Structure 1
């Protein structure tokens, strides 16, 4: 559980660093905002699934501005912190059944879902950094080791 907790501390830190960078950019970058909101909507979907709620109608890709992203960052951090505070090592092996947006049913352990969410966000934050660099901006250093220092 300690490793998962640390992964989520890093997730929140990395989301906040990306958010602050995107807020500081003059003008909107629709593709970067779309990638960032995808990370955040994905987190919302998995939070709902872990809470036993229907996530099939929640958006996964959406055109939103940075203000909406900022609110999602806040909401997701609050929800995930609460979820992780109340979870036990035994809960990590619990199987969650859920339906995706296409109506297909799946099942995964809480441990696998939590791992997926952390890795999914890191993948797309890397894509954001690639887009920032392509636009002549400095990428955001979100390496885990930097966080750990």
Structure 2
């Protein structure tokens, strides 16, 4: 199971970077919503990693300097892989959401949610790119594996 989860984070890392690159290449055409969504996508993975590791969390909708996004994505990837390799993925962890409500999930569930969440928002970003006259990226997992 750990190998498959690592593969999914490699996929997530790869296409997050591709989306950041596409936005960068078309920065004068993208709208604020696109910038907000790529930041939120990266922030969410950082938040889920931080919940597992007990680290300080980003704001879910904070806007980071654009030039930092590639490094944030890379650090997210490294931390997710480190969690997979060092933690029992069945271990349940208690955390609080941004509203202060307490929840408990397995580390696997938390990490899988981060992957799924990224995929969802990359789809939204692709729709926005298309609306702004930018060719959307093929970010489906199957394209990554081809």
30, 34, 37: which one aligns with 2:36: 34
Q: How big is the shift at 1:71?
A: 2.6
Structure 2 residue runs of 5 or longer lacking an equivalent are: none
Runs of 5+ unmatched residues, structure 1: none
**Aligned 1:70-85 pairs, distance under 5 A:** 70-85=70-85
Task: State the partner residue of 2:59.
Answer: 59
Match of residue 93, structure 2, among 93, 96, 99 = 96
Structure 1 range deviating more: 62-71 or 101-110: 62-71
Cα displacement (A) at 1:54: 5.5
Contact 1:43 1:117 in 2 (8 A): yes
2:139 to 117, 139, 142: 142
TM-score of the pair, normalised by structure 1: 0.89
Secondary structure of 1:108 counterpart = strand
Q: Report the Cα distance in structure 1 between the residues aligned to 2:64 and 2:89, rounded to whole angstroms.
A: 33
1:11-36 deviation line (CA, Å, top 9, x unaligned): 11111111111111142532111000
1:123 and 1:105 map into 2 onto residues whose CA distance is 24
Q: What residue is the counterpart of 1:11 in the other structure?
A: 12
SS at 1:93's partner residue?
coil
**C-alpha distance in 2 between matches for 1:54 and 1:68:** 18
How far apart, in 2, do the equivalents of 1:63 and 1:20 lie?
A: 17
> Is the 2:80–2:111 Cα contact (8 Å) retained in structure 1?
no
Give CA-to-partner distance per residue, 1:87-134, whole Å, 9 cap, x none.
4xxx11100100112111100001111110000000000000000011
**Count of aligned pairs between the two proteins:** 144
- Structure 1 stretches of 4+ with a deviation exceeding 6 A read none
